[in-house]
Amino acid sequence: MGDTGTLAARVRAASHLTGQFRLRSGRTSGEYFDKYLFEADPVLLADVVDAMRPLLPAATDVLAGLELGGIPLVTLLSQRTGLPARFVRKKAKEYGTCRTAEGGDVAGLRVVLVEDVVTSGGAVVEAARVLREQGALVEDVLCVIDRQEGGRDGLAALGLTLRPVLTRAELDAVA
């Protein structure tokens, strides 16, 4: 098994659950990849982030992690690459700065979104919209798992390229 196969087997072993799960998209699934289980393991998290590094476009100025699962990923990826991080909330904070995107300005910067799992891409679409409204150039999305349920095509329709570490097919291949 190559490096991708080994990582896929480790991520699947750590995070694959069966049962009835409602996804963010509203759909129901008989299986679920609980990203918090692989993100809570410091060795596995580091290996996942190391696999993300080569997927980063060379011209990246800033990394932006989506709340909540993208935050540990973007924090460690920022530390490993030296690129600054931003943190994108699901909705604007209702006190203090009242911002959706935290950590600094993004206007005029090439921002790469960092997410844990992409299914339909709804959370990524909303984050890209918010950052673009703030003047960011957002064209690329890194994720750990692409569930291959339409997210890639939906993102592409908005000019976003999905760059997954692992796909559902790769995770299924190691089952």
DSSP 42-79: HHHHHHHHHHHGGGS-TT--EEEEETTTHHHHHHHHHH
Looking at the predicted structure, is the pLDDT value of residue 3 above 90? no
Q: Which residues pair with 155 in a beta bridge?
A: none
Query: In the structure, what pLDDT confidence band is assigned to residue 1 with cuts at 50, 70 and 90?
Result: low
pLDDT at 91 over 90: no
Please give the annotated binding residues, written as ranges: 24, 89-90, 93, 115-123, 147
Number of structural domains the chain divides into: 1
Strand 85-88: give its sheet, edge to edge. 101-102, 85-88, 62-66, 110-118, 137-146, 161-167
Q: What is the pLDDT of residue 51?
A: 97
How many whole angstroms separate alpha carbon 133 and alpha carbon 80?
28
Can you tell me which residue has the tokens 């460690």?
Answer: 76
CATH code, domain carrying 98: 3.40.50.2020
For the entire predicted model, the pTM comes to 0.93
Nearest to 16 by CA among 174, 123, 150, 137: 174
Band the pLDDT of 174: cuts 50, 70, 90.
very high
Answer yes or no: is pLDDT of 16 > 70.
Answer: yes
Domain that holds residue 22: 3-173
Residue 149 predicted with pLDDT over 80:
yes
User: What SS3 state is found at 86?
Assistant: strand
pLDDT digit string (tens) for 126-142?
Answer: 999 999 999 999 999 99
pLDDT of 99 above 80: no
Instruction: Output the known binding site for orotate.
Output: 119, 147
Rounded CA-CA distance 170/144 in Å is: 12
Which of 52-56, 71-75, 90-94, 145-149 has the weakest average pLDDT? Answer: 90-94
**Confidence check: pLDDT of 76 > 60:** yes
Q: How much is the pLDDT for 20?
A: 95
Assign 98 a pLDDT band (cuts: 50, 70, 90). low
In the prediction, which pLDDT does 171 show?
Answer: 96
Q: Which residues are annotated as a binding site for 5-phospho-alpha-D-ribose 1-diphosphate?
A: 24, 89-90, 93, 115-123
> Among candidates 122, 113, 112, which has minimal Cα distance to 147?
122
What is the reported pLDDT for 97?
A: 72
